[in-house]
Amino acid sequence: MPITLDDLRRHAVARTLFAPTTLPRAITRLGFVQADPIRAPARAQDLTLRHRVADYRAGDLERRYPRLAIEEDFFVNYGFLPRGTQALLHPRAPLPSWTPARRSRAQAVLVFVRERGVVHPREVDAKFQHGKAPNWFGGASNASTQLLDAMNFHGLLRVARREGGTRCYAVREPQSAAADSDAMLDAMLDVIVAKYAPLPAPSLGLLASYLVAAAPQWRDRRAATLARARARLPRARVEGIDWYWPAGENPASRRHAPDDTLRLLAPFDPIVWDRRRFELPWGWAYRFEAYTPASRRVHGYYAMPLLWHGQVIGWGNLGVRDGALQAQIGHVAGRAPREPGYRRALNDELARIDAFLRPC
C-alpha cells in the first residue's frame, strides 16, 4: 500500500515518543537535545526530556550534566549531545575573522581558565574587564561572555557545568582532524535525520545547511553530503513531495498506533520543531511567538502544542503563580474535543507537569 500523510504523522510521533528510559539513554536515542533559556514553565530541554526519561524533574539535566558523557555545543541548534557526536564536529575551521587583538584576549583567557580549572563568566569579566559588545538582538552584552561562547564553539573551551543556568567553562584539549571527512559528515547527517524523521525533501536540504554551519570546515562538502543522503536513505513520494527516514524503519507499520496519553510538547520538541513538516500532516500552522510582539501573537508567548491520539489538536500556555500551576488551553477547532476521556487526559497531563516542576 502507498504511504500516506497519516502514516507519516503516526511515524513522526511513534518513533520519538519511545518508552521512558534513563537520562543517558534518552539523550543517546534522541541524538541531541536543543537548549533554550526561556522558562515557561520550564526550559525547553527539560520539557523535551520529561516525556522520555522516567521520573524526570525540571533541572535534572543541569544537575547531572557534570557526571554524564555529554557536552554542550552547537549542532543543528545549541544544546546537549553525546561526546562521540560532538567529536564529529571538531576541529572546527580556523578563526580568520578574529583580529590580532581578539586572538590575544582569547589566549589570555585560555591561560586564566587553565590556571583556575573551571571559571564563571563573571570571574573572567572581573579579571579582564572586556566591557560590552553588540549582540545578535541589537543590544549589548558582556564582551567576556561573547568571547567565552566563541571559544567554546571553536573548541578551545568546553562547558564544565552550569550555575543557575549560566555556563561555566574549562579548557578543552585540542583534537586532530578526522581522516575520512565523508564518513563523518554522513554520520552527522544521520544523527539529524534520526532526530527529525520523517523529513520532507526541503527540510532535509535545510538541515544539511545547518550541519555545515555547525561544522564550517566542511562547508564545501554540503552538496555531496546531501546527494549521498538522498541516494541511500529510504524515501517515498507523498502528495508530490519526497519524504526520507532512516534505514530499517517503516512509516506504514501498524505498530505506530497512537496511545491515549495527552502530552503538552515543548516548542522545540522533535515532533513540532520542523514547522514545514508539522504543517503538512497536521494541517495547521504553529509558530513560536515568544519574540513576536504581544499584539500579533496568535497562540501565546510560549504556546506548547497539545498532542492527543496522534493529532496536535491545540496548545497550552502554562505558568506558575503563587506556587500553583496555571494553564490556558486553546484548540484548533475553536472548542475542546467532546470525546470521552479528553478532560481526564488533560488533567492527568497537568498533574504530571506539576510533579515535574516540583523538586524530588
% the chain with pLDDT above 70? 98
- 265 burial type by CB count under 10 A (0-12 exposed, 13-18 middle, 19+ buried): buried
Grid coordinates standing for 198?
520523517
Q: Does an H or E element contain 181, and which?
A: helix 181-196
Least confident of 52-56, 179-183, 323-327, 339-343: 179-183
The per-residue pLDDT for 140 is: 65
Grid coordinates standing for 228?
549521498
Residue listed under C-alpha cell 582532524: 177
Q: How far apart are CA 33 and CA 134, in angstroms?
A: 28
Measure Cα distances from 167 to 119, 121, 122, 255 in Å. 9, 8, 11, 41
Closest to 328 measured CA to CA, from 301, 351, 309, 352: 301
Tens of pLDDT, residues 175-189:
777 778 899 999 999
Q: How far apart are CA 296 and CA 289, in angstroms?
A: 9
Tens of pLDDT, residues 26-70:
999 999 999 999 999 999 999 999 999 999 999 999 999 999 999
CATH architecture classification, 100-171: Orthogonal Bundle (1.10)
Phi and psi at residue 223, in whole multiples of 5°? Answer: -60, -45
- 151 burial type by CB count under 10 A (0-12 exposed, 13-18 middle, 19+ buried): buried
% the chain with pLDDT above 90? 85
* Cβ contact 289:298 at 8 Å: yes
The per-residue pLDDT for 131 is: 76
**Domain boundaries in the chain?**
5-59+179-244, 100-171, 258-357
The per-residue pLDDT for 181 is: 86
Neighbours of 186 (CB within 10 A): 15
Q: How far apart are CA 103 and CA 101, in angstroms?
A: 5
